[in-house]
Amino acid sequence: MANAKDETRQLATFLSQLKYEQLPQEVVDIAKASILNIIGCAIGSSDASPRRKAIAALLPDKSVETPSAPGAATIWGRPERTDVETATFLNGIAATAGDYDDTLLRTVIHPSCTAITAVLPWAEVHHLSGKELILGFVAAFETQAAVANAISPSHYDNGWHITGSTGSFSATGGIAKLLQLTPDQFAAALGHASSMASGTRAVFGTDTKTLHVGLHGRNGIVAGKLAQHNFGSCPAPIEAWARLVSTTVDTGCIGELARGGPWQILTTAFKPYPCGVVIHPLIDACLEVFRSFSINGEVKATEGPRGLDDLAEIQVTANPQLVRLCNVRHPRTGLETIFSLYHGCAVALVYGRATPAEFSDDVAANDPLVHSIRDRVSVQTDPKLRDDEAYLTFTSSSKANSPQATRTVYIKHATGSLGNPMTKVQLEEKFLNQTEKYLGREKVRKVIETCWKLDSMEDVCELVRLLAT
């Protein structure tokens, strides 16, 4: 039997007994916004390179031709349907491919991709309600955040990709909730998850990174179904795993929510730009400078904005996390641009935008002006600055001895951070920008409407059938 201090057991019991009515309204609101945000990211990356390769590898012999085939789940942004495990896999790869999701800054995890791509296909094939979906999503999210908090910061610093290594717990928490597992079964499922929990930072910038989220949903389904049949595990499995993968372990974080601790979902920061969150204040500053180059907002990128030739140096001062996480000087692929502060600054200055198009393979490899601006960026760090804060000093060459030679832009809270969150209108625009090409404007409008009223939906299929193309 588990003892009273068993943190895994406390978390499992709390989530197993959690009722929709216990969720604060703000939690429900963020859950709905997250669902919209991640569906947008997944459809926006329908044709991303890792997703195309994964489809070629997994789909041909498994796709289901008839849309009404029982048990088949939707591959978002595609016409085919497939079994639920493969659907969570392919939706997960797409959702994470652009790194355009969301972040909890305390641990830099990106929890929503896994949580949604695990629970939504499962809810679809079992015709669950919107409320059940939201409850499963929140259970998944809070499970991952609790585990991540317990192992931070050393886990990530030692080379683990924390979103990857903690995501199997998330998917398991979500599926366990949807399966209505008992506290014993729920805790055992988390034990099974601990045996499937991995992911390193060595694979950043490669297709393997997307595999992390891809695998989570399938792992959660296996763990949950086994536990439902009383496939057993040890007491305190999360604590045991945490002690192995962290040298700064705080197991008390695991059961914190069960003891009345705060909902971690309330600290969600949605990403306004498709790259590492620590680059976001730099992009804000560069976009501000771009606007001063342009005339009435009109700049032809091909001609090069006025002022760029003159720009000799961009000196960045930011939190040391910036260099630890995103110091790739010359990314060669879209996947590598996610980790390049230099690329983020350059595209904002050259194009006046930082949307997925500016983080593509083509811009990464082939834009000489972007390459040249990357080389003009230098960085110094200051641990007193927060992650969402930065100073950028722009120095022009021609005015070297004049008072206009340098200009400093200070960003106090980057767009999308908790101090400057994305608005509902911005989230809707982000969704439209990513999905219009695949769904068409009319369907986009319907998906947005449907997400906002998820809590009154009897069957989530009403939403999911809009996501097929």
Q: By rule CB under 6 A, what count of residues binds ligand NAG?
A: 6
Q: How far is the CB of 45 from ligand NAG (least distance, A)?
A: 14
In this complex, which beta carbon is closest to ligand NAG, that of residue 149 or of residue 268?
Answer: 268
Task: Please count the other Cβ atoms lying within 10 Å of the Cβ belonging to residue 67.
Answer: 12
Q: How far is the CB of 207 from ligand NAG (least distance, A)?
A: 25
In this complex, which beta carbon is closest to ligand NAG, that of residue 117 or of residue 355?
Answer: 355
Q: How far is the CB of 189 from ligand NAG (least distance, A)?
A: 37
Q: How far is the CB of 309 from ligand NAG (least distance, A)?
A: 24
> Would you count residue 355 as binding ligand NAG (CB under 6 A)?
yes
Interface positions, 200-229, toward ligand NAG (CB under 6 A): none
Q: How far is the CB of 274 from ligand NAG (least distance, A)?
A: 9
In this complex, which beta carbon is closest to ligand NAG, that of residue 138 or of residue 427?
Answer: 427
Q: How far is the CB of 50 from ligand NAG (least distance, A)?
A: 22
Q: How far is the CB of 425 from ligand NAG (least distance, A)?
A: 9
Interface positions, 218-277, toward ligand NAG (CB under 6 A): none
Q: How far is the CB of 429 from ligand NAG (least distance, A)?
A: 4
Q: How far is the CB of 66 from ligand NAG (least distance, A)?
A: 36
Residue pair 34/451 in contact (Cβ under 8 Å)? The answer is no
Q: How many residues does the chain have?
A: 469
In this complex, which beta carbon is closest to ligand NAG, that of residue 251 or of residue 355?
Answer: 355
Of 95, 106, 97, which Cα lies nearest the Cα of 34? 95
In this complex, which beta carbon is closest to ligand NAG, that of residue 158 or of residue 433?
Answer: 433
| Per-residue 3-state assignment (H helix, E strand, C coil) for the chain | CCCCCCHHHHHHHHHHHCCHHHCCHHHHHHHHHHHHHHHHHHHHCCCCHHHHHHHHHHCCCCCECCCCCCCCEECCCCCCEECHHHHHHHHHHHHHHCCCCEEECCCCECHHHHHHHHHHHHHHHCCCCHHHHHHHHHHHHHHHHHHHHHHCCHHHHCCECHHHHHHHHHHHHHHHHHCCCCHHHHHHHHHHHHCCCCCEHHHCCCHHHHHHHHHHHHHHHHHHHHHHCCCCCCCCHHHHHHHHHCCCCCHHHCCCHHHCCCCHHHHCEECCCCCCHHHHHHHHHHHHHHHHHCECCECCHHHCCCCCCCEEEEEEEECCHHHHHCECCCCCCHHHHCCEHHHHHHHHHHHCCCCHHHHCHHHHHHCHHHHHHHHCEEEEECCCCCCCCEEEEEEECCCCCCHHHEEEEEECCCCCCCCCCCCHHHHHHHHHHHHHHHHCHHHHHHHHHHHHCHHHCCCCHHHHCCCCC
Interface positions, 382-441, toward ligand NAG (CB under 6 A): 426, 429-430, 433
In this complex, which beta carbon is closest to ligand NAG, that of residue 160 or of residue 351?
Answer: 351
**Residue in the block written with tokens 């085939």:** 69
In this complex, which beta carbon is closest to ligand NAG, that of residue 137 or of residue 290?
Answer: 290
In this complex, which beta carbon is closest to ligand NAG, that of residue 184 or of residue 367?
Answer: 367
Q: How far is the CB of 136 from ligand NAG (least distance, A)?
A: 28
In this complex, which beta carbon is closest to ligand NAG, that of residue 210 or of residue 355?
Answer: 355
In this complex, which beta carbon is closest to ligand NAG, that of residue 375 or of residue 429?
Answer: 429
C-alpha 260/C-alpha 434 separation (Å) is: 38
Of all residues in this chain, which one has the CB nearest to ligand NAG in the complex? 433
Residue ranges in contact with ligand NAG by CB under 6 A: 353, 355, 426, 429-430, 433
